[in-house]
Amino acid sequence: MKTILWIMLTAIFSVDGCTQNKKPQETTQDGFVLLELFTSQGCSSCPPADENLSKIINAAMNNGKNIYALAFHVDYWNRLGWKDPFSSEQYSARQAMYVNKMKLRSAYTPQMVVNGEREFVGSDAGAAEEAIQHFLNTKYKHSIILGSAATTDGIIESFPYHIEGELSGTQLYAAIVESDKITEVKKGENKDKTLRNDNVVVWLGSFDPKPSGNVLLPKEFTKGKPNTDVVIFLQDTTSGKVLAAQSIRL
């Protein structure tokens, strides 16, 4: 059985093989959930949403569910006196993209977006559970398979991927996330609070997807980093819907 599995993986990730030249097959894949929480340490309403995300992550790990989480810390609340150390203008722009595609009146925190299709207040555990069950029971025509990572001196530099499904009009993303981040907030709405954040996005890269290829990672975000994962997802550039997702532990 191991020999057969090795042959299958070798064929899938072969750069020169015929796999890349074939038209993607129409397959139906099991459901998955990609949670994107737009949050900020400068927002007093965000800690309950951060806790909700952590509970969902822990439950998914214990139950072996295909649930992946990204905590994007936006930068527009930094004006209140506390500069969120994980905030980025890039993440605020990603939230603005959803505001536009979903035709919302404005951005807000905490906001949770599920599979690029549903959005609601991030602390609403009931809405999150309903959305999770819906998308876990949804069949998809795309899937992502990840191979073994390539390392140099123990540092992960890249890993191969294979995508099943039509790739026109899509974008591939890779997000490096870190968990168990403890911050003592000195100013702003959460002044004097000690906050714990999980699945914090510390780097987000985008790639033109291929049927098979490699994702390159920046060394400064992978060297000596505990509690770190990479979440890979494929997104429709027109609708914003997430078509497939997978993760790998660094």
The predicted model gives 197-211 an average pLDDT of 97
| pLDDT on residue 18 | 36
Which of 105-109, 154-158, 185-189, 195-199 has the least mean pLDDT?
A: 154-158
| pLDDT on residue 108 | 98
| pLDDT on residue 14 | 44
Percent of the chain beyond pLDDT 70?
88
* Residue 226 in this model has a pLDDT that exceeds 70: yes
- Average pLDDT value over all residues in the chain: 88
Architecture of domain 25-249: 3-Layer(aba) Sandwich (3.40)
Write down the pTM of the prediction: 0.88
* Residue 23 in this model has a pLDDT that exceeds 70: no
The 10s digit of each residue's pLDDT in 105-143 is 999 999 999 999 999 999 999 999 999 999 999 999 999
The predicted model gives 200-223 an average pLDDT of 92
**Three-state SS letters, the chain:** CHHHHHHHHHHHCCCCCHHHHCCCCCCCECCCEEEEEEECCCCCCHHHHHHHHHHHHHHHHHHCCCEEEEEEECCCCHHHCCCCCCCCHHHHHHHHHHHHHCCCCCCCCCEEEECCCEEEECCCHHHHHHHHHHHHCCCECCEEEECCCEEECCEEEEEEEEEECCCCCEEEEEEEEECCEEEECCCCCCCCCEEEECCEEEEEEEECCCCEEEEECCHHHCCCCCCEEEEEEEEECCCCCEEEEEEEEC
CB 52 within 8 A of CB 131: no
The predicted model gives 213-219 an average pLDDT of 91
* Residue 60 in this model has a pLDDT that exceeds 50: yes
| pLDDT on residue 25 | 42
The predicted model gives 18-28 an average pLDDT of 41
